[in-house]
Chains A and B, each alone.
Chain A
């Protein structure tokens, strides 16, 4: 039973397939194919706008996920056990289909001749807006905008915000709440002084699970941004598989992105003093 040897194959596996690849990224970032250099990082200035845009869009998506996800998790935790169980399954179910299938579906919803625009036309919304503001839209441009990308991020990662918050709130001992109420706390005070502070680990865990994939996405921006909006993920992807093949620069961009993400996570965790880990499921 107490056998450390059982872990050895996996330790070797991690050394080869987790640690070594990251060391390679580190080496490549400081290399140009023939010698060690810093030129990859000097080139980074050109991409400052892409960095800014990626982090901004990801931050907006994360914020929207909190604003929707927190109330949803909180209301859900107050439902009966049967409904709670069904609701968790219902939230997880879309994750079982590949996210690209759903992102593709959003394309048909948001297109210029897509479902939403057809609906807006049918109910006269487009004519109304044109009449009110003197514009002449034949459709509302929704696809290939930054808004569409943020929508795609929110849609794909919202469950990753709801579930950890829900798990944490659900675990709060109801006797704590009763005790607070017995001592005369109103619902607002119970929420502000008790439930919210106790649910912070869930929020932090949700933020990590939404923000990190949002910063690095390239499929969502390619499908819903139509290649008009370049994000960090697109930039890295083109360095490795796309037209401008340069794995050295790609590694450097990945490294800087990773560093910024790690630093912001560390700051956030310090700020939230999130000792406890709230895991998905």
Chain B
């Protein structure tokens, strides 16, 4: 293929400017001395100070991270198990189940959110009217229902990225391990799991990303007692948004960036170490 000339690169550059312009605006005005988010009034760190005194935003951040971490970890385990179960099935039932698995991915978020909120509403109502009434417990939508919703839309991503790995797996390896005396879970851990690992890690990262990025499904399933960062921003937008949101966006962006840089440096180092190892092992001719 021919290399790009200047015009093509310009389009790439412009697209990146477009994608990052709002992020840089957020970061820039997080250092503003006045409350305005459009007029520069001098440098200050006051919004960072206030951010750490703002319980509503901090607890929203905690909720966001907690629900995303928990949901993606649960999805990691459940999704891997489910993918292995699916792989053991006959083609037809696997096909049907995979189609159901894909529903939360292809459906609009609002439909997923609305349908789950109907389910929770009816289930909680039924519980409160019967068992809850007898035991004196009143349930309501909250962190639990939101976590269930997140797990529900996270698992499909894990399954979709573990499935191809399972298909590439050589079934004889597991048998060989067993022949050599490794049993059940030990053989799985030592032989199967390392092969699946990249798929599992990738799927979990996507699941986590989707959870952090979600607003709509949380909005419909969290009730009015807990709120995620996105829900906080959304409810603020009706009133007046505080520049503390700029400050927290900046911190989020920097942490994500740092994380990515670390992961990539590690990967590059691992790759070059592997290459060196391989070079040392191959006999020179």
- Contact at B16–A98, with CB atoms within 8 Å? no
B-contact bits for A172-190, CB 8 A (1 contact / 0 none): 0010010000000001000
State in angstroms the CA–CA spacing of A4 and B87 once bound together: 8
Nearest B residue to A101, CB-CB: B249
Cβ-defined partner of B25 (8 Å) among A105, A174, A223: A105
Q: Which of A78, A95, A108 contacts B38 (CB 8 A)?
A: A108
Q: A10-B155, A75-B4, A89-B260 are in contact. Are A258 and B107 (CB under 8 A)?
A: yes
0/1 string, B211-253, CB within 8 A of A gives 1? 0111110011000000001100110010001000100010011
Question: With A and B bound together, what is the CA distance between A21 and B221 in angstroms?
Answer: 12
For residue B37, CB closer than 8 A to chain A, the reply is yes
* Interface of chain B residues 126 through 184 with chain A (CB within 8 A): 148-149, 151-152, 155, 160-161, 171, 174
Q: What band does the interface of chain A fall in when counting residues whose beta carbon is under 8 Å from B?
A: 35 or more
Q: Which bucket holds chain B's interface residue count?
A: 35 or more
Q: Are A223 and B118 in contact (CB under 8 A)?
A: no
CB contact under 8 A between A19 and B213, given known A7-B85, A93-B257, A281-B206: no
**Residues of chain A within 8 A of B86, CB atoms compared:** 7
The residues of A that contact B229 with a CB separation of less than 8 Å are: 98, 101
B2 touches A187 (CB 8 A): yes
* Contact, CB under 8 Å: B118 / A28: yes
Stretch at the interface among A128-136, A196-204, A246-254: A246-254
CA distance A208 to B108 in the complex (A): 10
| A4, A79, A111 — most chain B CB neighbours (10 Å) | A4
Interface core residue of B2, B114, B160 (most chain A CB under 10 Å)? B114
**In the bound complex, CA of A279 to CA of B163 (Å):** 12
Inter-chain contact B1/A89, CB cutoff 8 Å: no
Main secondary structure of the interface of B (DSSP, over half): helix
Which label, helix, strand, loop or mixed, suits the secondary structure of the A interface? helix
Please tell me which one of the listed residues A100, A159, A281 contacts residue B233 in the complex, with CB atoms under 8 A apart.
Answer: A100
Asked if A11 CB lies within 8 Å of chain B CBs, one says yes
Contact A1 B188 (CB under 8 A): yes
Q: Are A111 and B38 in contact (CB under 8 A)?
A: yes
Q: Which of B96-128 contact A (CB under 8 A)?
A: 97, 100-101, 103-104, 106-112, 114-119, 122
Q: How far is the CB of B212 from chain A (nearest CB, A)?
A: 6
State A54–B148 Cα separation when bound (angstroms): 30
A1-57 contacts to B (CB < 8 Å): 1-11, 13-14, 16-22, 24-25, 28
Contacts of A100 in B (CB 8 A): 215, 230, 233-234
A123 in the interface (beta carbon within 8 A): no
Check if A21 sits within 8 Å of B260, measured CB to CB: no
**B215 touching A99 by the CB < 8 A rule?**
yes
Which of the residues A9, A91, A212 comes within 8 Å of B106, measured between beta carbons? A212
> A17 — which chain B residues lie within 8 A by C-beta?
116, 119, 148-149, 152
A-B CB contact pairs (8 Å), 15 listed: A1-B187, A2-B171, A18-B100, A94-B23, A95-B209, A97-B249, A97-B253, A102-B26, A104-B241, A115-B25, A158-B15, A158-B18, A219-B215, A233-B110, A250-B114
Besides the contacts A10-B85, A11-B82, what 11 more A-B pairs have beta carbons closer than 8 Å? A2-B171, A13-B151, A14-B97, A21-B119, A24-B122, A107-B241, A108-B29, A217-B110, A251-B118, A257-B111, A281-B161
A residues with a Cβ closer than 8 A to B are: 1-11, 13-14, 16-22, 24-25, 28, 68, 71-72, 75-79, 87, 89-91, 93-102, 104-109, 111, 113-115, 118, 155, 158-159, 162, 174, 177, 187, 208, 212-213, 215-219, 222-223, 233, 236-237, 240-241, 247, 250-251, 254, 257-258, 261, 265, 279-281
